């Protein structure tokens, strides 16, 4: 008899499950799978373009050999979220010295859906040489801001919302109205030289370094005529190659005899001129591209320079 009771009980359970599935199936949306129905499924929420610009918060900004890289969180300001989908989406990054990067991004073929929740979506934007105008300090992301202007052709009107990280690179150069790349670079070189001067005066006044470059706009050297943009590009290359460099304006340091030069020196310091020159040799430099130099706010050019032989 107990076996009969168990068998009857199992039959009742199976009948109840089948009935439940039939009722659930009747409530399912057309095209919805049983897995989707049980998981609360369906397609992800879709977002459409918002009339106002997204809210952005820069978390990191740095220069690499690929260009200026900006990492930020972007959030739609409309309740329904936002979409970046224009073929000419103009993005400007500004800092203490003014505009530090600007360029046009083409999002028309691969629109970016932005959620409206507080977590936002991480965007990693790259501004290659020619579209960035300065070198931000590594620890100053909170002093930079970003603005977005939508121009050109708009792509998809709605796309699925997403919180997945998204990477993009400037598709064409662009500078804000009333500005020029050369003027923007000059302003940012000036800001960088001011920042580095404070660092040197605070802890390294009188230190020996290796001088790697001295250039001014209009100078013809190394087979080219230099301008502010090419001076900045060389500085970034040396800064990356040697894990840090300082930028000096020669007029501000009495150890230089030639005025109006942007001078790049190593952030690495040495015990004296001999150690500086040994380092130059180890890096494969000749006397025209590496000089031992004392950086001092009080000394004259005499006794503060040594050359490779």
Instruction: Give the model confidence (pLDDT) of 237-290 as tens digits.
Output: 999 999 999 999 999 999 999 999 999 999 999 999 999 999 999 999 999 999
**What are the mean pLDDT values of the chain's consecutive 10-residue runs (309 residues total)?**
42 41 41 38 69 93 91 93 95 91 95 87 95 80 92 86 92 92 93 94 98 97 95 95 96 98 98 98 96 98 96
Q: For the range 274-282, what are the long-range contacts, defined as Cβ-Cβ under 8 Å and sequence gap of 24 or more?
A: 274/306, 275/208, 276/208, 276/209, 276/210, 276/306, 277/306, 277/307, 277/308, 279/210, 280/210, 280/308, 281/308
Could you give phi then psi for residue 108, rounded to 5 degrees? -65, -35
Of the candidates 138, 228, 149, the one whose C-alpha atom is nearest the C-alpha of residue 181 is: 228
What pLDDT is stored for residue 18 in this prediction?
38
Pairing outcome for strands 291-295 and 46-48: unpaired
Instruction: Give the model confidence (pLDDT) of 187-220 as tens digits.
Output: 999 999 999 999 999 999 999 999 999 999 999 9
- With 0-12 / 13-18 / 19 or more C-beta atoms within 10 angstroms meaning exposed / middle / buried, residue 28 is middle
Of the candidates 199, 64, 185, the one whose C-alpha atom is nearest the C-alpha of residue 134 is: 185
Return d(Cα 279, Cα 52) in angstroms, integer.
54
Q: What is the pTM of this model?
A: 0.78
- With 0-12 / 13-18 / 19 or more C-beta atoms within 10 angstroms meaning exposed / middle / buried, residue 218 is exposed
E strand or H helix that includes residue 265: strand 262-266
- Number of residues that make up the chain: 309
CA dihedral (225, 180, 97, 145) in degrees, to 10, reads: -130
Mean pLDDT, all residues of the chain: 86
Q: Is 220 left (phi over 0), alpha (psi -120 to 50) or beta?
A: beta
């Amino acid at each position: 008899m107990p076996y009969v009771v168990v068998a009857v009980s199992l039959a009742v359970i199976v009948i109840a499950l089948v009935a439940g599935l039939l009722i659930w199936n009747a409530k399912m949306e057309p095209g919805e799978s049983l897995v989707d129905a049980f998981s609360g499924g369906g397609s992800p929420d879709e977002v459409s373009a918002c009339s106002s610009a997204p809210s952005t918060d820069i978390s990191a900004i740095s220069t690499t050999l690929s260009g200026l890289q900006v990492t930020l969180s972007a959030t739609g300001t409309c309740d329904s979220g936002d979409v970046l989908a224009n073929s000419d989406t103009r993005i400007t990054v500004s800092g203490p010295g003014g505009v530090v990067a600007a360029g046009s991004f083409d999002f028309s073929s691969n629109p970016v859906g932005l959620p409206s929740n507080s977590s936002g979506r991480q965007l990693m934007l790259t501004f290659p040489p020619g579209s960035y105008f300065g070198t931000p300090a590594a620890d100053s992301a909170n002093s930079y801001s970003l603005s977005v202007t939508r121009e050109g052709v708009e792509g998809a009107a709605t796309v699925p919302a997403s919180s997945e990280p998204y990477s993009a690179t400037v598709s064409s150069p662009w500078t804000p109205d009333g500005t020029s790349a050369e003027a923007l670079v000059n302003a940012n070189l000036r800001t960088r030289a001011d920042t580095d001067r404070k660092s040197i005066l605070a802890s390294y006044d009188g230190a020996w370094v290796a001088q790697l470059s001295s250039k001014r706009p209009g100078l013809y050297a190394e087979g080219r005529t230099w301008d502010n943009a090419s001076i900045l590009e060389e500085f970034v290359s040396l800064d990356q190659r040697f894990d840090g460099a300082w930028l000096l304006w020669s007029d501000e340091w009495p150890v230089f005899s030639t005025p109006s030069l942007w001078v790049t020196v190593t952030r690495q310091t040495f015990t004296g001129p001999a150690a500086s020159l040994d380092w130059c040799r180890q890096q494969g430099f000749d006397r025209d591209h590496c000089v031992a130099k004392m950086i001092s706010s009080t000394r004259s050019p005499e006794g503060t320079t040594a050359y490779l032989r």
